[in-house]
Amino acid sequence: MKHTNLAAFLLLAAAPALFAHPGSPRVSNVVLRQPQPGTAVVTYDLDEDAVVTAEFVMDGAALPAKTVQTLSGDVNRKVPAGSGRSFTWKANEDWPDHTVAAASVRVTAWAPLAPPDYMAVDLRADAEAPRVRYYATSNAVPGGVTNRLYKSDVLLMRRIPAAMVRHRQGSPATAPVRGNNETAHWCTLSKDYYMGVYEFTEAQNTLVGGTRTSTPSFVTGDESRFYPVTSVFWYNNIRGDGNSSYVWTSPPASASTIGKLRTRTGLATIDLPTDAQWEYACRAGASTTLYDGTESGYNGDGLARAQALAWINSNASSHPHEVGLKTPNAWGLYDMLGNVLEWCRDGATAYSNADDVVDPVLSAPQFMLRGGSFATSSYDATCSSRNNAYGGWNSSGVASRCGFRPMCAIPAED
């Protein structure tokens, strides 16, 4: 077997211009060496705390990120400022049977307020530190975004580029599928945030000690782990402690699923998305009823387009399905439409008549449920459709339809 031959190069790197901020962290004194055949060790200096990622270049071309999987040390994580930071790549494991004449490495420092696109959080109790990892692209995510690891043991989140983007929320009166509580208005979110790539699953809920009110009967054995958690409620278990007087403005109870998720991950801002955050993330830039730029419908081609993106009552066989089997939106989020209704953090109040609302948070006795479900029609599986329920409503007919998708504020780590 041939081993990768790594010749040392020096390459200075800074954060990409797209993410540059005044006072962006800087990398210097980058050195790549090969202490033994097939192993690369990179050292560098960092002038302030930053998230650090790396890209290897061999024979004049960047090595595909999905090929560089065995990285360890001060990379793909938040790294404290200092000199002599280092990480290791086991090149002979990732790229065997190749001889490479030369190699260089591009080390990128990302400001905590402008982190990489993907954040992966290991939910296992015995996870190795650091529990939180970052990746610049979907290809860099170990094993690929669709790996079942991210439907079970690891919570994978995607950065949503929302900061100061003026966008339309709701739907125009001419929309082919529309409810009476979708008044179109302009909205601005002041900050980017991370959003779960998948709906929170049965496996993830079990790992953090979350509770639910029933077990799935539509699937048996280990496969149920990869299905969205259902029968969860705002008061009862997601944010509250089961006390019906628990009000919407309160922080999550420590005994709630979100509270336990914060404790397990160390990320103090993990929560449900607001109604506005959910819709912005769902649309991914689309202004149509469906996030792929097309229009939904009650029948014909419109219904077929909805079914291609969502598990709804006409194609789901009356139960949810494994997360991530339908086409994602432009930001790589799966099942934003259909499968299970997703709870939002804020209330079900009607939209304000005012335009250009910044960071809206709504207050009401009931809470928003978004995206439609396996039990609802194409009418509810649109980017703008808004359903609602009392946070502790435990009707068996509604229970099986309710799940959630976590979000996390940026910066994610203190």
Q: Rounded to whole angstroms, what are the CA distances from 329 to 73, 119, 274, 286?
A: 33, 18, 19, 9
For residue 338, give both structure tokens.
Answer: 């259909």
Which amino acid, 334? Y
* Mean pLDDT computed over 305-324: 96
Inform me whether the pLDDT recorded for 13 exceeds 70.
Answer: no
| Contact predicate 290/382, CB 8 Å | yes
Q: Report how far residue 304's alpha carbon sits from residue 315's, in angstroms, rounded to the nearest whole number.
A: 10
Task: With cut-offs at 50, 70 and 90, classify the pLDDT of residue 366.
Answer: confident
Task: With cut-offs at 50, 70 and 90, classify the pLDDT of residue 10.
Answer: very low
Inform me whether the pLDDT recorded for 362 exceeds 60.
Answer: yes
Least confident of 11-15, 27-31, 75-79, 183-187: 11-15
What are 58's strand-pairing partners? 61, 103
Q: At a CB cut-off of 8 Å and minimum separation 6, what does 153 contact?
A: 122, 123, 124, 203, 204, 207
pLDDT in tens, 194-227: 999 999 999 999 999 988 877 778 888 789 999 9
Inform me whether the pLDDT recorded for 327 exceeds 70.
Answer: yes
Inform me whether the pLDDT recorded for 364 exceeds 80.
Answer: no
* Mean pLDDT computed over 150-159: 98
Q: Taking the CB of residue 86, how many other CB atoms lie within 10 A of it?
A: 14
Inform me whether the pLDDT recorded for 336 exceeds 80.
Answer: yes
Query: In 3-state terms, what secondary structure has residue 222?
Result: helix
What are 168's strand-pairing partners? 186
Alpha-carbon dihedral sign for residues 307, 311, 312, 316: positive
- pLDDT at position 395, please? 52
- pLDDT at position 286, please? 97
Task: With cut-offs at 50, 70 and 90, classify the pLDDT of residue 8.
Answer: very low
80: buried, middle or exposed (CB in 10 Å: 19+, 13-18, 0-12)?
exposed
Nearest to 46 by CA among 74, 88, 9: 74
Q: Taking the CB of residue 317, how many other CB atoms lie within 10 A of it?
A: 11
Q: Report how far residue 318's alpha carbon sits from residue 276's, in angstroms, rounded to the nearest whole number.
A: 29
Describe the chain by its helix, strand, coil percentages, rounded to 5.
15, 30, 55
pLDDT in tens, 99-145: 665 678 999 999 999 999 999 999 999 999 999 999 999 999 999 99
Q: Which domains does the chain have, with CATH numbers?
A: 17-110 (2.60.40), 118-409 (3.90.1580.10)
Q: At a CB cut-off of 8 Å and minimum separation 6, what does 121 contact?
A: 131, 132, 133, 154, 155, 156, 157, 265, 267
- pLDDT at position 22, please? 42
Q: What is the DSSP letter of 51?
A: E
Runs of H (alpha helix) within 57-215: 91-94, 202-207
- pLDDT at position 246, please? 55
Q: Report how far residue 407's alpha carbon sits from residue 273's, in angstroms, rounded to the nearest whole number.
A: 5
Rg (CA), the chain: 23
Return the higher-pLDDT residue of 394 and 150.
150
Least confident of 155-159, 329-333, 343-347, 348-352: 348-352
Q: Report how far residue 95's alpha carbon sits from residue 362's, in angstroms, rounded to the nearest whole number.
A: 52
Alpha-carbon dihedral sign for residues 348, 353, 355, 357: negative
Length reported for the chain: 414
- pLDDT at position 59, please? 80
User: Within the chain, how many helices (H) and strands (E) appear?
Assistant: 6, 21
Nearest to 203 by CA among 184, 179, 170, 227: 227
- pLDDT at position 313, please? 96
Q: Mean pLDDT, the chain, as a whole number?
A: 88
- What DSSP string runs through 253-264? PTTSHHHHHHHH
pLDDT in tens, 262-279: 999 999 999 999 999 999
* Mean pLDDT computed over 72-77: 97
Nearest to 179 by CA among 344, 378, 374, 360: 378
Inform me whether the pLDDT recorded for 64 exceeds 70.
Answer: yes
- pLDDT at position 1, please? 34
Q: Report how far residue 350's alpha carbon sits from residue 233's, in angstroms, rounded to the nearest whole number.
A: 21
Alpha-carbon dihedral sign for residues 274, 277, 282, 288: positive
What are 122's strand-pairing partners? 154
Which amino acid, 304? A
What are 407's strand-pairing partners? 195, 271
